[in-house]
Amino acid sequence: MKFRWAWKAFKKLDGIFCIYKPKELRFSDAQRRIKQNLLRDLNALPCYEFEKSIHDIESNKRRTVDEITSNLPITRDVPDVIDVSENRLVLGRRYIESDIELFPVAPLQKHSSGVIVMGVGRAVGMLPTIARAKYMRVYHIRGRFGWATDNFSPKGKIIERTSFSHITKPKLDKICAVVQSNHMKLMFKYAGVKDGSQEAYELASKGLIRPESKDTPPVIYGVHCIEYNLPDFTLEIHSINERKEYFMNLIHELGLQLKSTAVCTQVRRVRFGHFTLDHALVQDQWNLYEIINNFDKCHPELHPDKLLIGSKIDQAKSHHFQIEDGENKNYLLEDS
């Protein structure tokens, strides 16, 4: 996508997109970097009257000695009678940091990596709706048997070394199944219904039982071992309202249950509801053009049918939210 004017690009900068945060990068740093990249690309476009392109101006800048000494001031290819004050050389950059609003849904901590959904511009108003949907997140958690640290993270102080040769894949699978089944009971509790009641039955018949709000303790829906290569192993965990500390604790407990110890070495979010790795932009792609292209990619995932699953509205009955596909790009949900 090419733009002739910066304001045209700025007008388009309004939507939901998806990034892949690398590990060892603080989320606030990632946010700042995206903002700076957007500003860099916006300001590189013509912002003021009579500006052509930053490359044209650059080539105009080189002057010979004669030009500078003899005919001052040099008029450019612009009319003589112009307001000089409205100029990049006087007013500086057209777009500054406070012009861009950029916020995430469920950001990740420094040491974890993965998909983060973000909104820019007016679409920031859409983010609470996405948060309310309580999407299921899928994580790939790597762990390593044989050691324990004081704060469960691989960078902590090692306090114990253990043997792990007695661990087998079936044993690990068994523990994973136990974790999963324990959380089955918790689902109803956090959803705010009584176990075995009519209400619970109705809730369960509709599909996934989601917790009532985003403040409940973590709920785990599935734990599978997808890679087993002693001493390393990788678990795929489906959960809602999780935190990194919770996973680190989980891996530690898992190690203890297997009569060994384990440390969580990597936390990676591979899916956030309908937003997958296919949607996400890696750090080299965090620029204006890729982000604007990404709005279109993420837009189908914001359909009310997908967005209202977490809220208690019965979507079949609510004709109010029906939007014709592709035609209306305004987010009606903002008004609700």
61 counts as binding other proteins under rule CB under 8 A: yes
Q: Which CB, 85 or 98, lies closer to other proteins?
A: 85
Q: Which CB, 159 or 282, lies closer to other proteins?
A: 282
Window 244-283: residues binding other proteins (CB under 8 A): 277, 280, 282-283
d(CA 103, CA 27): 11
Question: Could you tell me the sign of the dihedral formed by the alpha carbons of 22, 26, 31, 37, in that order?
Answer: negative
**Minimum distance of other proteins from residue 115's CB (angstroms):** 9
**CA torsion angle for 78, 96, 111, 227 (degrees, to 10)?**
-50
Q: Which CB, 209 or 292, lies closer to other proteins?
A: 292
Q: Are 30 and 19 in contact (CB under 8 A)?
A: yes
d(CA 143, CA 255): 9
DSSP 281: B
326 counts as binding other proteins under rule CB under 8 A: no
Q: Which CB, 257 or 283, lies closer to other proteins?
A: 283
Binding piece for other proteins, criterion CB under 8 A, among 68-76, 126-134, 224-232, 302-310: 68-76
226 counts as binding other proteins under rule CB under 8 A: no
The 84-113 contact track toward other proteins, x by CB under 8 A, reads: xxxxxxxxxx-------------------x
23 counts as binding other proteins under rule CB under 8 A: yes
The verdict on whether omega for the bond into residue 22 sits within 30 degrees of 0, i.e. cis, is: no
Q: Are 279 and 308 in contact (CB under 8 A)?
A: no
Q: Are 234 and 142 in contact (CB under 8 A)?
A: yes
Binding piece for other proteins, criterion CB under 8 A, among 60-68, 146-154, 233-241, 299-307: 60-68
Quickly count: other Cβ atoms within 10 Å of residue 114's Cβ.
22
Q: Which CB, 12 or 23, lies closer to other proteins?
A: 23
Number of residues that bind other proteins (CB under 8 A): 32
Beta bridge partners of 148: 160
d(CA 125, CA 138): 25
| Residues in touch with other proteins (CB under 8 A) | 20, 22-23, 60-63, 65, 68-69, 72-75, 83-93, 113, 277, 280, 282-285
